[in-house]
Amino acid sequence: MKIAYLGLGRMGSGMATRLLTHGNALTVWNRSVVKAQPFAELGATIANDPAQAVRDVELVISCLFDDHSLDEVFHAGSDVLKAMRQGAIHLCVTTISPECAERLEALHKAHGLRYVAGPVLGRPDASAAGRLVQILAGDASAIAEVTPVCAAYAERVVPLEGAASVANSVKLCLNFFIAGLMELISEGLTLGEKSGVPREVLGGFYEGFVAPPGFKGYARRLTAREKESEVGFAMVAGRKDLQLMQDAAKNVECPLELADLIASRMDAAIAQGLGEMDWSATQEIIRQNAKL
């Protein structure tokens, strides 16, 4: 399939590489050209701008940072929407607000295009290894067409009925669970440390309590106090997702006190220069509060 891939950050680069190695004809675009250059060696075409990238392709996959970055590229009258051929599909894998997904779905329909929300679960290493989980919602015919393509980077694809925004709501709920799990493990490890319990003892129990490999990875990372995020999820990105959760909860009048607490931890961590560390580094704030 002829695909345009927009956004080659930590998650996007792994997914784009997997698409190339599975025989897809890929055109890539990234705001920083330096990140796009390695893909030329793998056989991809490098586009100078997103409008050039999406021209004459069957599928556009966007992996940008947030609502704002999507709105900058896909808006009423944008050159990108005009450049896409009629009936083409836009699959957005970015974690965005349900409201942004609603705007994008309406815009694409107005331009004779098909929109699918496809947020993914997993860290950059899972992206590179093809072990992501993807949630799809939106145009039903488009979902049927993109599902086989997603198998290049996702080991499980979950299609949903209803508006595209449903997929984004699911992703926020799942991210909230992960953030809450990290908070719970961090507080338990800190209490144990203050009480003279070896971290590896509690860490072994916590790792045994959670089944998915990704969750076990968080238990190991927290036990070892691994803060680096080269293959992780940066604190600033996690804070963006927490804000989406808080906003979504406010919109449906569903208080999330734990989300507010975790957001305050992240704000403190970012203020201390931990913004590019893994979002599990909120544990360091918990330890500081316990005078460790």
pLDDT band at 231 (very low <50, low <70, confident <90, very high): low
| Residues constituting the chain | 292
Which domains are assigned to the chain?
A: 2-160 (3.40.50.720), 169-289 (1.10.1040.10)
Q: How large is the average pLDDT for residues 107-124? A: 96
pLDDT tens digits, 167-180: 999 999 999 999 99
Q: pLDDT tens, 184-198?
A: 999 999 999 999 999
The answer to whether the beta carbons of residues 43 and 64 sit under 8 Å apart is no
User: What are the two backbone dihedrals, phi and then psi, of residue 14, each rounded to the nearest 5 degrees?
Assistant: -65, -45
For residue 71, name the pLDDT band (cuts at 50, 70, 90): very high
Q: Are 105 and 163 in contact (CB under 8 A)?
A: yes
pLDDT tens figures, 36-48: 999 999 999 999 9
Stretch 118-145: mean pLDDT:
96
Higher-confidence residue of 100 and 212: namely 100
Q: How many CB atoms neighbour CB 259 within 10 A? A: 23
pLDDT at 151: 97
What type of residue is 54? V
